Structure formats: structure tokens, C-alpha cells
Structure 1
């Protein structure tokens, strides 16, 4: 009876260890698939390709390569990488959000920063506001795009300020820390009463302003 009990428990222990091994392997595969999903989504974003290209072209091509160059097991592992259109879109949004948070953290650490705002119209006719930021990054000067957002309604100075102020509020940025701002010479930017700069001076009277040198150069030709 004692031998039977010993055999039983040893068998159960072996089954338990085997199940642990399978769980570990599945977890490692899931982690690798997740990492691969993010890496491929980043490639899609950098190449400016439609999100669907990952599922429709990249994944099938990778599976074919694995079948030819490796084995079926490798091909089956590649098939587990989530690359649907919605997944790639979500991955890119998550990475973009993470980059923004990193930049915002650096702005807060720097204590002061300068921004450049530019409004332009995309191919669909939608006005887009782009903000670039410059700041002290340890022993270097950092430059990065801060945001690019569609302008709702008109492109007045008030609209531009409200959109920028909303971003500042969302990320707990203080206008007092914005030491300089650079814009073009459009009335919506520089208008004395309703322009963006006059609106910003209400919240930060000490801000320094300048007309974009590149824009001024373009006006001379």
C-alpha cells in the first residue's frame, strides 16, 4: 500500500512539473508574440503603411519564410503574433502615448521650455495644429514634436490657444514654464487683441515671442 501511495504521488508530481513546463512555454511564447507585435507595428508606422499590411502581407510572408527556412513549429509560433488592423492601430497609439509622456516628463524636469506652433491643412481639408518643443535635456538641447491635433471649427487665435491649453491641462504643464514661443506672422497668431500671442500673455505675461525665421525667409522670395 505504501509503494502504491509513493507511486501515485510521484506520478502526480511529474504531471504537475510537466504542466508547469507547458505553462512556462506558453507564457514565453505569449510574451515573445506581444513584443513582436509591437515591433512590427512600429515598422508599419515608420514606413507610413496602412495598418492592414501587417496582417495581409507581413504575417503571411513571415510564416512562409519560417516554413522554408526553419520548420513548421517556427511557422506556427509566428502565427500567434497578433497583427490585426485594430491591434496594430492600438499598438501605435500606445507607443505614441508613451513617447508623449516621456517628452512631458522631460519638460517638467527641465523646468522651462520653448514651443513652436504651426497650423496647416491636410489633404482632407482638416486644419491641423502641430506643436514642437525645445528644452534642456541634461547636458544637451532636446527637440521633439509635442503634439499634432485637429483644430475643431475655425483656426482663430482662441481656437489655437484652447487646443494648446487643453494639452497643457491634460499633462499638467504650466504656462509659466513656457519661456518662449515661435509662430508665423498670421493674424490668428500675432493679432494684438484676438491673436494667439495676446491670449497666451494673459496667462504668462513674461513669455518671449518671435516670428519664425524660416517663414520670414520664405516671405522674402
Structure 2
């Protein structure tokens, strides 16, 4: 393909230097163009996550993403009317990915990320306490809410919602313990770091013999911990 290159552009000649400079300039332009598209795609994706986060935070339908995008597009015509780069702004808004399925995937990704960070914190902490509350939701399904408070080596603390476990059957102390142990086994919660547990004052939680706390104290998987209600 370049059999005449040495003839057309002799070594150390000015014409060869000019040709190489032109080729380098073309390459730089191409690289910048690719970089712009990659950066623009990154910014658009990040904006999509920000909108999805607000939708999740306000507990509104996933389909609201398309409605929000429509509002963006409508107001941009007036809001950026005097901007020199109005067309670029409108194009960026039009490129926002906010369909119902996209918003759902974004929220799933954020949820996975929160869980991953929580798992890393549990491994990193030196001790933690748990708070449990069993209550019935509007569909008459018993739900066990678990909060965790972690202490780290620098004595800083973090408190997070660990999980919500649905209790489909009975809600005796043994039933709560069974579901609780299945969950902590699944996430590999290091019980040797457990310092205390706080529960509500319901008999299923605080019963002397068959309450959840009493059964935990009898269970060999649990180390000695302080209990409150």
C-alpha cells in the first residue's frame, strides 16, 4: 500500500516532514473527537443516575423519568434562548436516557452499590450493634426491620438500614430467630463483632424463655452481647 512512500516522500526531506505533521494532526483530531463522545456519554449517564436517584428518593413511578425529560426539553427552549451553545444543551438533554426500564436499571445499580459499600464497612468495622423492630405493614405482612451501627478503628461510626425481612408465617421468637439466622448466614455477618442488640418490648422479642433475645443468648453462634429494649 505504501510502495512509493520512500520515492514520494524522501527521508529527511521537507515534504516528508510536512506529510508526517499532517498525519499527526489528523490523528489528534480523531482522538479528540472520540474523547468528546466518550466524555459526553459519561456525563449523560451520570445525569441519568442523578435523576433516577431523585425518583427513588421521592418514591415516584419509574415512568416519571420520561416526564422529567419532557419538561427539560420544553423549558430549555426558553431558558437557554440567549445561550450561544443552546443547540448543544438541547442535544445533551435529548440524549438523556430516562425510559422506565433505564430508570429501573439505574436504581438497581445504585442499590447494589449501597449493599457493596455496606458489606465493606461490616468487614472493616471493629464492632457493631443491631436494632430490630418487628411490625405489620398495610398488607398485614409482618416485617422485621434491622438497623446496624458500626464502630471503626478511628472511633467513627456509621448507622445504616441493614435489611427488611418479610415474616410470612408466625412471628414467635423462634420464627424471628430462624429468619434472622438465614439472612445473616446469607450476608456472612461476623457475629463475633456483635456488642449489643436492641428490640421493641414485644413478648416475641423479650420473652424470658422463648423470646428472640433469650434464644439468641442460648445459641452458640452468638457471642456474649448486651440486650436492650
Short-chain TM bin: 0.7 to 0.9
* Matched pairs, number: 210
Contact 2:127 2:193 in 1 (8 A): yes
Aligned partner of 2:90 in structure 1 is 75
SS of residue in 2 equivalent to 1:82: coil
- Equivalent of residue 8 in structure 2, options 2, 7, 14: 2
Quick check: which one's helix share is greater?
1
Aligned partner of 1:149 in structure 2 is 165
Mean Cα displacement is larger for which, 168-177 or 186-195? 186-195
Contact 1:152 1:159 in 2 (8 A): no
Aligned partner of 2:12 in structure 1 is none
Gaps of 5+ in 1: 212-221
Question: Are 1:95 and 2:95 an aligned pair?
Answer: no
Provide TM-score, normalisation by structure 1.
0.79
Alignment of 1:17-32 (within 5 A): 17-32=28-43
Q: Could you list the per-position Cα deviations for residues 128-170 of structure 1 after superposition, in whole angstroms to 9, with x for gaps in the alignment?
A: 2211112324333432222223233333333322333233223
Contact 2:191 2:223 in 1 (8 A): no
Deviation at 1:2, TM superposition (A): 1.1
> What is the RMSD computed on CA atoms of the aligned residues?
2.8
Gaps of 5+ in 2: 1-6, 10-14, 81-85
Alignment of 1:203-214 (within 5 A): 203-211=221-229
Provide TM-score, normalisation by structure 2.
0.77
Alignment of 1:31-180 (within 5 A): 31-55=42-66, 57-70=67-80, 71-137=86-152, 138-180=154-196
Mean Cα displacement is larger for which, 35-44 or 15-24? 15-24
